[in-house]
Amino acid sequence: MNNQQKTILYIKSKIDAFNAKERHFKQLNLLFDNLIFCQNEDDLLLHLPNTTTLITWLFKPHWYEIATNLKDIYTPAAGDDWIAKNDRIKIHHGHFQGKIMAESLLAMMLWHSRNLALLQQAQSKKQFARDLLSNTNRLGNAHHFILGYGAIGRACAKLLKAMGATITGIKRSCRNNQLDNNADFIIHPNQLDKHLHKADSLICILPSGDETKHIITKKHFTMMKSSAYLYNIGRGNCYQESNLIWALQNKQIAGAGLDVFEQEPLSQSNKLWDMSNVFIMPHTSAVNKYYLDDYIQELAINAK
């Protein structure tokens, strides 16, 4: 970048792992000329009129009125929930989260498949209960459906496929499954009704939006095996939570692992909290202390 261009770094978050540290500023200073580290919103708005490039978690719609020289917004977020869209500005999202989110998914799946809650209870009672796992399953023997088979979905598939699992990827833009080394089958969402009865788990990794809202219906839960599990590490709008609770209460499915919800934070009165067959993560499937370090590695390539 030439000396007339200015780059702003505004990476502030209540989540410590998402909050820029001094080491991140040093790393980014090697990538961008005239880098300014804004500590608060007022500081950002002061510099925004002369900024060409912005690295941020957040951009409000009315900020575009003063951002007359802005050309690019880079954000560590995978989703577009916090960056207002604008036809004039290129918005570059992070695409590096798949590996850590796959690990979080695996943790939830192992919690169910290996009966880790029962083992923890036995440990608390000092019981050497070797028979607790006699009726458990192995993830590698199962057929996993991944609804939202993008970059994150493929990272999850790769991890599960390494165990020997069968993978069906579900996406709107279908392609020859021979082009994907981890999915055994690729189907369109409108084929889900036909194949869902085969799934041992349905893994949702969908973005928010009108196209994905309540795409999983009450009818879909009745189509699933009673031994199947639902996992959601995408967004909480893809089904009505009341339908999921109904399915769990009526044993239409065996359990769930949930990282996202219709309303966040999850209300203390929500029935999901008290269900022994539900593993809850507080929208943290991508959170780890190296989140921004991984993002900067990706940004170093994209910014060129």
Same structural domain for residues 35 and 126? Answer: no
pLDDT of 179 higher than 80: no
Into how many domains does the chain fold? 2
**Angle at alpha carbon of residue 155, lines to 149 and 160, rounded to 5°:** 95
Query: CB–CB of 233/260 below 8 Å?
Result: yes
Same structural domain for residues 214 and 84? Answer: no
In a domain, 222, yes or no: yes
Same structural domain for residues 42 and 116? Answer: no
Active site residue 88: no
> What is residue 186's three-state secondary structure?
strand
Catalytic residue among 95, 175, 214, 264: 264
In a domain, 229, yes or no: yes
The pLDDT > 90 percentage for the chain reads 91
In a domain, 81, yes or no: yes
43-56 pLDDT tens trace: 999 999 999 999 99
Same structural domain for residues 38 and 130? Answer: no
Closest CA to 241 of 222, 224, 258: 258
227-241 mean pLDDT: 97
pLDDT for position 80: 84
Catalytic residue among 235, 241, 262, 298: 235
Same structural domain for residues 162 and 51? Answer: no
In a domain, 213, yes or no: yes
In a domain, 74, yes or no: yes
Active site residue 143: no
Same structural domain for residues 26 and 122? Answer: no
* 288 CB-contact burial (10 Å; exposed 0-12 / middle 13-18 / buried 19+): middle
Closest CA to 183 of 227, 232, 147, 223: 147
Mean pLDDT of the residues in the chain: 94
In a domain, 66, yes or no: yes
Using a CB cutoff of 8 Å and minimum separation of 24, what contacts does 62-66 make?
64/88, 64/89
In a domain, 206, yes or no: yes
User: What residue numbers bound the domain in which 68 lies?
Assistant: 7-95+289-302
Same structural domain for residues 15 and 58? Answer: yes
Closest CA to 221 of 236, 199, 206: 199
Q: What is the 3-state secondary structure (H, E, C) of 58-77?
A: CECHHHHHCCCCCCEEEECC
User: Can you give the pTM of this predicted structure?
Assistant: 0.94
pLDDT of 4 higher than 90: no
Q: For the domain that residue 221 is a member of, what is the CATH number?
A: 3.40.50.720
Residues 278 and 284: their CA atoms lie apart, in Å, by 16
Same structural domain for residues 86 and 121? Answer: no
pLDDT of 250 higher than 90: yes
Catalytic residue among 47, 241, 283, 298: 283
In a domain, 1, yes or no: no
81-129 pLDDT tens trace: 899 999 999 999 999 999 999 999 999 999 999 999 999 999 999 999 9
Query: CB–CB of 42/61 below 8 Å?
Result: no
Active site residue 264: yes
Query: CB–CB of 201/156 below 8 Å?
Result: no
Same structural domain for residues 293 and 275? Answer: no
Residues 60 and 94: their CA atoms lie apart, in Å, by 19
Same structural domain for residues 105 and 89? Answer: no
Same structural domain for residues 52 and 138? Answer: no
pLDDT of 178 higher than 60: no
Same structural domain for residues 91 and 102? Answer: no
